[in-house]
């Protein structure tokens, strides 16, 4: 089976084809209109002259009945005859035309002559009536026809050029947004947002907005994936290194106290690894319905265990960590997930501080980490923090309907606030 050929047409070529098609149609319409207008003018000119002859017949009959002689001159161009003998010799064969004939004659008998044949009654006798009118005296001259044709062609050409200009502008206006979006997609400058020219159709504006939205989502997902891989590599290798090191140390000493201390290190490292794996896997779990229906009480013991893990880093930097519990809220995240969230925020606060106090506040609907460090910097505002990274924190928060907000402190430092729904109040209202 042959693979389908890739499309060779581009928006630019389609614009040219569209202009070519419309130009061909406009040219065809112009030729038809010009031909029809010329034919209409010829017909109108002849029709006016024939009706003029026919309307003059009553006047000629009245004059002949009153005794006028033939030929009768009517106006500057019409001659009336009441017998064949009165006709000029070269026009006498015209008497063979039937009664009621009214048309222009262009044969050898009378070239360019309007002829009308009728009859009338005079003293009980039927007599013929012949009306003639020289066409060259009542029709437009060749020079006049040339002027009319020139004017008609000039008008048609101007209309054609105007139509071509309008079609060209319209087709470019329709295709230009597509060309611009295509060039922006191919551009190496990914930080440039998608845009369309001013005045473009609403659909193109909505398309550019959607592309910007999808690009931002992709960039966030890529950063989350990079942060996820970076953190997973670090947080999983660290306990593995501890386990391997403690295992080797077990072989170097047989003292019970030393071996007990190494086994405790191995147990703690394995537990930390298990918690990390459970927290990371919670991002990709599909059993969201089951997890969203479960909740648990956040107790002081669990929070103190988390603080114990970051206390060595705080002591190393001569920082004090305080815990303020104003309530024991009901939450959905499992202990490993909560541990990962709080440890990341606490480590960020410790790394951003050189002195002072780190405060962890637990309220009914939020958890706050307040530090007295350097305040918000560009990396934190862009949600790309230390360790796990605030992008992953955001992903975990979205997983459980939480919200992360970073704000500057009143005097210095930063406030990281995790806001979550009050499950107890929600159930009570239900």
Note the pLDDT tens digit of each residue in 78-122. Answer: 889 988 888 888 888 888 889 889 888 877 776 778 889 998 888
Query: How is residue 402 annotated by DSSP?
Result: -
How many angstroms separate the CA atoms of 93 and 132, rounded?
A: 13
290 has pLDDT over 80: no
CA dihedral 369, 372, 374, 379 (to 10 degrees): 0
pLDDT at 218 over 50: yes
Total residues found in the chain within this entry: 430
Neighbours of 201 (CB within 10 A): 12
Strands (DSSP E) contained in 253-364 are 296-297, 320-325, 330-331, 357-362
Could you say which DSSP state residue 5 is in? P
C-alpha pair distances (Å), 41 with each of 21, 35, 144, 327: 30, 10, 12, 98
Predicted model pTM: 0.48
Whether the CB-CB separation of 73 and 180 falls below 8 Å is answered with no
Q: Is the pLDDT of residue 4 over 70?
A: no
- Cα–Cα distance, 71 to 86 (Å, whole number): 7
Residue predicted with more confidence, 3 or 54:
54
- pLDDT, tens digit, for every residue of 293-303? 578 899 999 99
Helix-, strand-, coil-residue percentages of the chain, each rounded to 5: 60, 15, 25
Question: Which stretch of 4-18, 236-250, 251-265 has the lowest confidence by average pLDDT?
Answer: 4-18
- Most confident option among 215-219, 276-280, 424-428: 215-219
Which position has the token pair 């024991």? 328
The pLDDT confidence band at residue 423, using thresholds 50, 70 and 90, is low
Higher pLDDT, 388 or 65: 65
Answer CATH for 294-429 from 1.10.286.10, 3.10.129.10, 3.30.565.10, 3.30.1050.10: 3.30.565.10
On whether the CB atoms of residues 391 and 224 are closer than 8 A, the answer is yes
CA distances to 132, 134, 244, 289 from 82, rounded to whole Å, are 12, 18, 137, 111
Query: What are the φ/ψ torsions at residue 115 (nearest 5 degrees)?
Result: -130, 135
Q: How confident is the model at residue 424 (pLDDT cuts 50, 70, 90)?
A: low
Q: How many C-beta neighbours within 10 Å does residue 108 have? A: 8
pLDDT of residue 2: 54
Q: Collapse the DSSP code of 149 into the 3-class scheme (helix H, G, I; strand E, B; otherwise coil) and give the result.
A: helix
Question: Residue 285: what pLDDT?
Answer: 63
**How do residues 111-131 score in pLDDT, each as one tens digit?**
778 889 998 888 888 889 999
Average pLDDT of the residues in 218-224: 78
Q: Which distant-in-sequence residues (6+ apart) come within 8 Å of 250 by Cβ?
A: 259, 262, 263
Residue corresponding to tokens 């000039």: 154
- The answer regarding whether domain 202-281 maps to CATH 1.20.140.150 reads no
**With the C-alpha atoms ordered 300, 304, 305, 306, is the resulting torsion angle positive or negative?**
positive
Is residue 104 helix, strand or coil? strand
Paired residues of 321 in beta bridges: 358
Domain ranges of the chain: 14-142, 202-281, 294-429
**Do 202-281 and 294-429 fold alike per CATH?**
no
Q: What percentage of the chain carries pLDDT values higher than 90?
A: 8
Helix (H) or strand (E) holding 405: strand 403-408
In three-state secondary structure terms, 235 is helix
What digits encode the pLDDT tens for the residues 169-196?
777 777 778 878 887 887 766 667 888 8
What does the pLDDT read at residue 5?
55
> What is the pLDDT confidence band of residue 362, given thresholds at 50, 70 and 90?
very high
Statement: residue 378 has pLDDT above 60: no
Q: Are the CB atoms for 268 and 309 separated by under 8 Å?
A: no
């Amino acid at each position: 089976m042959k693979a389908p050929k890739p499309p060779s047409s581009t928006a630019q070529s389609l614009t040219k084809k569209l202009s070519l098609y419309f130009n061909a149609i406009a040219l065809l319409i112009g030729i038809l209109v010009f031909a029809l207008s010329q034919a209409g003018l010829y017909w109108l000119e002849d029709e006016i002259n024939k009706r003029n002859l026919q309307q003059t017949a009553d006047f000629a009959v009245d004059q002949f009945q009153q005794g006028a002689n033939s030929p009768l001159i009517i106006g500057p161009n019409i001659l009336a005859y009441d017998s064949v003998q009165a006709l000029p010799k070269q026009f006498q064969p015209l008497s063979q035309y039937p009664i009621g004939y009214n048309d222009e004659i262009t044969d050898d008998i009378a070239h360019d002559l309007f002829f009308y044949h009728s009859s009338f009654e005079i003293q009980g006798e039927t007599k013929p009536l012949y009306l003639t009118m020289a066409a060259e005296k009542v029709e437009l001259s060749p020079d006049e026809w040339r002027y009319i044709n020139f004017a008609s062609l000039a008008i048609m050409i101007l209309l054609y050029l105007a139509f071509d200009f309008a079609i060209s502008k319209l087709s470019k206006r329709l295709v230009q947004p597509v060309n611009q979006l295509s060039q922006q997609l191919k551009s190496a400058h990914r930080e440039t947002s998608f845009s369309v020219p001013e005045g473009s159709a609403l659909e193109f504006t909505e398309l550019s907005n959607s592309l910007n939205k999808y690009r931002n989502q992709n960039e966030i997902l890529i950063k989350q994936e990079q942060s996820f891989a970076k953190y997973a590599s670090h947080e999983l290798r660290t306990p593995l290194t501890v386990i391997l090191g403690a295992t080797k140390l077990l072989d170097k000493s047989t003292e019970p106290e030393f071996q007990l201390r190494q086994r405790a290190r191995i147990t703690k490292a394995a537990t930390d690894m298990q918690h990390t794996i459970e927290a990371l896997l919670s991002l990709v779990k599909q059993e969201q319905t089951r997890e969203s229906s479960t909740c648990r009480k956040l107790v002081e013991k669990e929070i103190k265990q988390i603080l114990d893990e970051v206390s060595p880093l705080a002591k190393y930097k001569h920082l004090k960590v305080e815990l303020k519990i104003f309530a024991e809220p009901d939450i959905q995240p499992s202990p490993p997930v909560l541990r990962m969230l709080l440890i990341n925020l606490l480590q960020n606060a410790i790394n951003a501080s050189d002195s002072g106090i780190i405060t962890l506040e637990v309220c009914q609907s939020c958890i706050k980490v307040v530090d007295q460090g350097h305040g918000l910097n560009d990396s934190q505002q862009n949600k790309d923090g230390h360790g796990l990274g605030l992008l992953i924190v955001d992903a975990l928060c979205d997983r459980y309907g939480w919200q992360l907000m970073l704000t500057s402190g009143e005097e210095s430092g930063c406030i990281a606030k995790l806001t979550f729904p009050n499950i107890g109040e929600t159930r009570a209202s239900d």
